[in-house]
């Protein structure tokens, strides 16, 4: 009898450990893995569409998000054009994305002075640490990813830009 139980246990354990077998939970959640969408830069930002954002520690720069460029993809990435303007009037424009769940950002394209986009997408980079630009931290903490939850859609992202969900926080 003891040998029969041992044999039954060996068959059950052996049958469950074969390669390629997945539990119900694994099968259900594997489909949740979302591939990043292929994106093209939006039209170049227009002054009428710029929404000012509050960025603590911005050292003489003002920051804006082009409201017409804001999009929340099926891949849960919040994408936007960011405009950084110095007190002297110089500006940098980038098309970026933020992943709230992993606290990462990526630059997809860089704006040129003639109103065109250029460059290649960067790798995903962490939003943690002091080397991260204050504007990206503000967008994550106060606008797009409050409590590490991404805005659900473009309307919610635009509403957050007009009225942040919590005060800007640039600390970890």
What is the model's pTM? 0.75
Q: Please say whether the dihedral angle defined by the alpha carbons of residues 58, 47, 73 and 96, taken in this order, is positive or negative.
A: negative
pLDDT of 1 reads 52
pLDDT of 3 reads 52
d(CA 59, CA 137): 15
Over residues 20-41, the mean pLDDT reads: 63
pLDDT of 25 reads 54
What band does 27 get if pLDDT is binned at 50, 70 and 90?
very low
pLDDT at 5 over 80: no
d(CA 62, CA 30): 42
Q: Is 147 helix (H, G, I), strand (E, B) or coil?
A: helix
168 vs 42: which has the higher pLDDT? 42
Lowest-pLDDT range of 2-11, 58-67, 108-117: 2-11
Greatest Cα-to-Cα distance within the chain, rounded to the nearest angstrom: 88
């Amino acid at each position: 009898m003891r040998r029969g139980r041992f044999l039954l246990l060996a068959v059950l354990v052996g049958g469950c450990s074969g390669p390629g077998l997945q539990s119900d939970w694994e099968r259900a959640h594997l489909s949740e893995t979302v591939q990043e969408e292929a994106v093209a830069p939006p039209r170049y930002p227009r002054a009428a569409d710029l929404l000012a954002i509050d960025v603590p520690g911005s050292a003489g720069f003002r920051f804006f998000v082009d409201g017409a460029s804001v999009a929340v993809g099926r891949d849960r990435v919040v994408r936007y054009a960011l405009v950084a303007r110095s007190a002297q009037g110089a500006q940098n424009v980038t098309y970026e994305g933020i992943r709230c769940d992993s606290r990462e950002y990526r630059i997809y394209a860089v704006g040129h002075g003639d109103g065109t986009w250029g460059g290649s997408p960067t790798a995903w980079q962490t939003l943690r640490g002091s080397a991260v630009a204050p504007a990206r931290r503000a967008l994550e903490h106060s606008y797009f990813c409050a409590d590490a939850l991404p805005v659900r859609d473009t309307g919610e992202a635009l509403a957050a830009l007009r009225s942040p969900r919590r005060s800007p926080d640039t600390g970890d």
